[in-house]
Structure 1
Amino acid sequence: MDNSVSLCAVGDVTAFFKDPESMFVHTGAILNEADITFGQNERHYTNRYSEEHDLMPGVPMTEVCPLEHAAALKRGGFDVMSFASNHCMDLGPDAMLDTVAALRNNGFTVIGAGKNIEEARKPAIFERKGTKIAYLAYCSVLRSGWEAGINRPGCAPMRASTFYKQIDYQPGTAPAIITLPHREDLEALKEDIRKVRPLVDVVVVSFHWGIHFTRGVLAMYEREVAHEAIDVGADLILGHHPHILKGIEVYRGKAIFYSMGNFAFDLPLSVRKAREKRLEEKFFHDVKADSEYAEWYSWAPDSRRSMIVKCRISNKKIEKASFLPVLINNKAQPVVISGEDEFQEALEDIKELSTSQGLNTRFSTEDREIVVGL
């Protein structure tokens, strides 16, 4: 009897503003086949607030749609979803808790956010075919006060500080950017891993982190945090937030997916322009919208590349890590790449993203998957 356990993971997911049932028409079967499927939730589901009128002070924008849209996420077959997000408190604690409740009511275990820090740090533990797997989630892209506290809703923090160092004596030259993890957050994270490690066979840790819309570049703190998490017992690191793919590292035989990119995350041009007009400021880094994609997905072209991470657990450890390369179509739907030329482009892209950051990861191909050499 085959006792291997299959895991799937994807990056940023939102229930679409319109026709949310269409999100997973091309990928739902794959996501539902896995024994455990993970996704990062990036949108509020509530009927009591709106982006136009109810943002917290100093917040430029958020992601919110009607409560009933959350049910469409079930088509993605998710077992566990993180809401450790830079948007988790955009509308205040009530909207965040509405969203957590909506996700739970639709059958998902929620990690990384909650009514207090204990709930936000609580792992999700699953047992499949005699193997136990734990999931933890943290956010590095946090506004002040949005971290959960003893009696305060929020998300589990893994913050970092930024410093600029002049590296050339000539005035006006670009500085080195140094990011260092908050030690109290990192120590708490490591303690969470240590606590759950004896209870399970595999530990998966999710991070909402990184530099968005900037090709390739990893912030210094990401590698330090990922390595220290693995040093104390993490078996797999799943990253998201940059809205584009980033490189993959293998450290001590464990895979680190620094960013899985967007997965199912619509952004109609009409929504984007309404935000820009209301704010009288651009927050989209001068992204040029392709007219073919404007109705559903006005992200930059790089944001169309995505992936479905797949891991196989055998003998109670991850023995294979791979991904299916994905392209997002003009209806914001993720579609697994089928063409040979597109597949080779995806392979070369992930190689370049990795080597550009000094990550000497080995990649191979097998049955239309790109395999990470552990």
Structure 2
Amino acid sequence: MTTEASIFAVGDVFIDRDDPSTAFHSAKEFLRGGDVLFGNCEGAFSDVWERAPSSGSPVVAPAVNARPLAEAGFDVVSLANNHSVDGGYGALLNTCATLAELGVSPVGAGADIAAARRPVVVNRGGLRVAFVAYASVFPYGYEAKAAVPGLAPLRAHTRYTPWEPNEWQPGLIPRVTTETLAQDLTALREDLRAARERADVVVASFHWGDFTRPYVLTDHERRCARVAVDAGADIVLGHHHHMLRGVEFYRGKPIFYGLGHYLFDLPRLRERLAKDGYLSATGPEDELALSRRFGEYRIQPKEGYPLLPFHEDSRLTGVAVVRVSANDGPVAVGFRPAVIGPDNEPVHASPGSEQWKSVVTYLERCCAEERLATRFVPRQAGSGLPEDCVQILPEDRGEGGGA
């Protein structure tokens, strides 16, 4: 039996370009070096689809566009996100079938709630790695039910209260807190405990957070990450923010709050927004409202980046790498920095290069802004991490320590 393996995880992946075969041309060699590769499939691959009534701007591409995921070595992808049902129930089921035919296991969505909650277990030489996935951010109606397709939900109610309890403050930005739905927390705990019984290592993926601002984490993210670890998760992976978020350790388990984009094509944005009426302005008041909401982080076309209409911070990306053991769970944690180029391809950076430093510095700021007790250090000998990774350690561990 294999005693250790490397789990590679990336953020949003979706191929929607004129020549899908060009996807991952630079990153493929590194990605295929992991024992298990995971990503968040941010859309539907289907030749037949019908826009879901509650969708924003649908993210749907032909089924053939999914092939590069298999060619890059992806073993498991999450469909628990805010775009997986954009093309309707039929397109979601087509996506699941297409991925499965390619040898890529979808998780977090399916033909009913039982399928959406069912873990995927990957076996590598006898080492069993289970994946479960849930979404907290998605349009109404995307959640699966007893006999209805959809995703596995982890919802929360949002509460708005004034910062100062002793005075009226009309129009001021409030304190925002959340309360996770009890039934969803119960389901999360049940699913993770069930996965724990079937596997040596458990990975939990979540679609959550605030994509309108950099660095920030919500109380929902922090709370649910800890609930997941307490219920049996060895690794927590976050998605949805479009930009990287911080990393921390809880009970020795790594929490990657947000892995940002990796290769997420979003072409013809101006045309799409005009057609769909999503995040677009029809007058001065709408324009002012969008500016107030997003500021410089508004999703809009960016010169020189036709497939990536997001803030320049979203071009900083990489691969989370966790070395795991059947007996000890995570034994080493790292990150391989990459920068997305104008062709929307992630190019992995060499240690010490300006690109490499820019990603590490950004991750350090993400942790500093949210006061996450985490350090980024050169890869330690004997860690088992790839040579070009930065190693991630809890702040209170010595450099000889592990994860």
Q: TM-score, normalised by structure 1?
A: 0.93
Summarize deviations over 1:65-121 as a string: whole Å, max 9, x none.
Answer: 112111122122001111111112222211111111111111111110000111111
Structure 1 residue 313 corresponds to structure 2 residue 324: yes
SS of residue matched to 1:273 = helix
Structure 1 residue 274 corresponds to structure 2 residue 271: yes
User: Partners of 2:36 and 2:122 in 1: how far apart?
Assistant: 8
Summarize deviations over 1:2-39 as a string: whole Å, max 9, x none.
Answer: 74211111111002322111111111111112111101
Equivalent residue, structure 2, for 1:351: 364
Equivalent residue, structure 1, for 2:94: 98
Equivalent residue, structure 1, for 2:195: 196
1:23–1:334 contact (8 Å) kept in structure 2:
no
Equivalent residue, structure 1, for 2:349: 337
Count of residues in correspondence between the two structures? 367
- Specify every segment of 5 or more residues in structure 2 that has no aligned partner in the other structure, as ranges: 281-289, 380-386, 394-402
- Aligned-residue offset at 1:246: 0.7
Q: Would the alpha carbon gap of residues 99 and 315 (structure 1) be closer, same or farther in structure 2, given more than 3 Å must change? A: closer
2:270–2:301 contact (8 Å) kept in structure 1:
no
User: Partners of 1:200 and 1:75 in 2: how far apart?
Assistant: 26
- Aligned-residue offset at 1:170: 4.6
AA aligned opposite 1:334: P
1:244–1:260 contact (8 Å) kept in structure 2:
yes
- Aligned-residue offset at 1:196: 2.0
AA aligned opposite 1:20: P
Equivalent residue, structure 2, for 1:216: 215
Q: Superposition RMSD on alpha carbons, in Å?
A: 1.7
Moved more, 124-133 or 324-333: 124-133
User: Partners of 1:93 and 1:281 in 2: how far apart?
Assistant: 21
1:55–1:61 contact (8 Å) kept in structure 2:
no
- Specify every segment of 5 or more residues in structure 1 that has no aligned partner in the other structure, as ranges: none
1:248–1:361 contact (8 Å) kept in structure 2:
yes
2:12–2:239 contact (8 Å) kept in structure 1:
yes
Equivalent residue, structure 1, for 2:310: 299
SS of residue matched to 1:331 = coil
- Aligned-residue offset at 1:180: 1.9
Moved more, 325-334 or 275-284: 275-284
Equivalent residue, structure 2, for 1:255: 254
User: Partners of 2:269 and 2:114 in 1: how far apart?
Assistant: 36
Structure 1 residue 239 corresponds to structure 2 residue 221: no
SS of residue matched to 2:47 = coil
SS of residue matched to 2:374 = coil
- Aligned-residue offset at 1:332: 0.4
Equivalent residue, structure 1, for 2:384: none
1:213–1:243 contact (8 Å) kept in structure 2:
no
AA aligned opposite 1:314: S
2:20–2:68 contact (8 Å) kept in structure 1:
yes
AA aligned opposite 1:141: V
Moved more, 86-95 or 1-10: 1-10
User: Partners of 1:147 and 1:2 in 2: how far apart?
Assistant: 37
Equivalent residue, structure 2, for 1:136: 132
SS of residue matched to 1:84 = coil
AA aligned opposite 1:198: E
SS of residue matched to 2:40 = strand
Pairing of 1:224-235 with structure 2 (within 5 A): 224-235=223-234
1:16–1:23 contact (8 Å) kept in structure 2:
no
- Aligned-residue offset at 1:60: 2.4
Give identity over the alignment, percent: 35
User: Partners of 1:280 and 1:143 in 2: how far apart?
Assistant: 15
- Aligned-residue offset at 1:288: 5.5
Equivalent residue, structure 1, for 2:80: 84
